[in-house]
């Protein structure tokens, strides 16, 4: 069983289409939230996500801002402009899809959350101390998260021991061992200075994890963003992956 794990699409249709094509046939798609925000194609991305096999899709903080769970005032100015634009174009049906996504889900030996198991929608997991604290907030072997837009892995070999932070090299299939917190990186707005779209292939039976990176048509997304006057900072950052 191969599961495509994606997160932080951020309304970047060119990136999402490329990732789905690159991943090929999979048994299920698990999306860890932030389907919208920043990018120019929120409706198209939601509609494409909804077609995916055995879909599990969580809510992210940008999704939550669009349907009012989070006040966009907590976002920086440019991100707030993007939320307001997204709200102005989302169809009622697609807004309802976002509104009805869960904040976290447990599937057999895996917990899914957008930010962290402790604060599923908002917490960024970027350091080993926060990851160690979060180990107490899920009981499964693995926890999958997004939100930071950086493909990384927190690994705890011994239940009483420290947590290590690893950056899995793209293209390598890794054998997992409990327990670990895994981030597939971002489809639509990578922030690790690698502009390529990021995703992961996960096999829960054989417990393997592979990060993949793929070039997509960044210019197409940037042109669509310019055409609807989205903030230039968000347009520029796609070229540099920051
Ligand atoms: Zn995000």
pLDDT band at 55 (very low <50, low <70, confident <90, very high): very high
Q: How far is the CA of 107 from the centre of ligand 1 (A)?
A: 22
Helices 218-227/232-240 angle, 10° precision: 180
**What value does the mean pLDDT take over residues 207-234?**
97
Segments of 108-163 assigned E as strands = 110-113, 142-144, 152-155
Q: How far is the CA of 8 from the centre of ligand 1 (A)?
A: 4
Q: Residues 167, 198: contact at Cβ < 8 Å?
A: no
pTM over 0.85: yes
Q: How far is the CA of 175 from the centre of ligand 1 (A)?
A: 27
Q: How far is the CA of 87 from the centre of ligand 1 (A)?
A: 16
Q: How far is the CA of 15 from the centre of ligand 1 (A)?
A: 14
| pLDDT-above-70 percentage for the chain | 100
Q: How far is the CA of 225 from the centre of ligand 1 (A)?
A: 17
**Is the confidence at residue 72, as pLDDT, over 90?**
no
Strand order across the beta sheet in which 142-144 lies: 104-107, 110-113, 142-144, 180-183, 152-155, 164-166
**Per-residue pLDDT, 2:** 98
DSSP H helices in 41-100? 42-50, 61-66, 77-89, 92-99
Structure tokens at 88: 């102005």
**Is the confidence at residue 73, as pLDDT, over 90?**
no
Q: How far is the CA of 219 from the centre of ligand 1 (A)?
A: 20
Q: How far is the CA of 149 from the centre of ligand 1 (A)?
A: 6
Helix (H, G, I), strand (E, B) or coil at 210: strand
**pLDDT tens figures, 30-46:** 999 999 999 999 999 99
DSSP-derived letter for residue 229 is T
Q: How far is the CA of 160 from the centre of ligand 1 (A)?
A: 31
């Amino acid at each position: 069983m191969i599961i495509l794990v994606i997160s932080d699409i951020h309304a970047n249709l060119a990136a999402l289409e490329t990732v789905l094509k690159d991943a090929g046939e999979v048994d299920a798609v698990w999306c860890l939230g932030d389907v919208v925000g920043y990018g120019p194609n929120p409706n198209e991305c939601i509609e494409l996500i909804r077609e995916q096999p055995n879909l599990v899709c969580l809510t992210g903080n940008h999704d939550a801002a669009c349907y009012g769970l989070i006040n966009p005032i907590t976002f920086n100015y440019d991100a707030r402009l993007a939320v307001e634009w997204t709200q102005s174009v989302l169809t009622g049906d697609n807004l309802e899809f976002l509104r009805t996504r869960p904040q976290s889900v447990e599937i057999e030996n895996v917990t899914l959350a957008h930010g962290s198991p402790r604060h599923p929608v908002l917490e960024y997991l970027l350091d080993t101390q926060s990851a160690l604290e979060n180990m107490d907030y899920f009981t499964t072997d693995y926890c999958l998260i997004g939100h930071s837009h950086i493909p990384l892995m927190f690994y705890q070999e011994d239940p009483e021991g420290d947590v290590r932070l690893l950056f899995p090299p793209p293209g390598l299939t890794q054998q997992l061992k409990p327990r670990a917190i895994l981030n597939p990186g971002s489809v639509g707005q990578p922030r690790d200075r690698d502009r390529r779209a990021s995703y992961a292939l996960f096999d829960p039976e054989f417990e393997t994890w592979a990060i993949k990176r793929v070039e997509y048509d960044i210019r197409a997304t940037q042109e669509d963003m310019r055409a609807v006057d989205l903030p230039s900072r968000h347009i520029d950052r796609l070229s540099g992956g920051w």
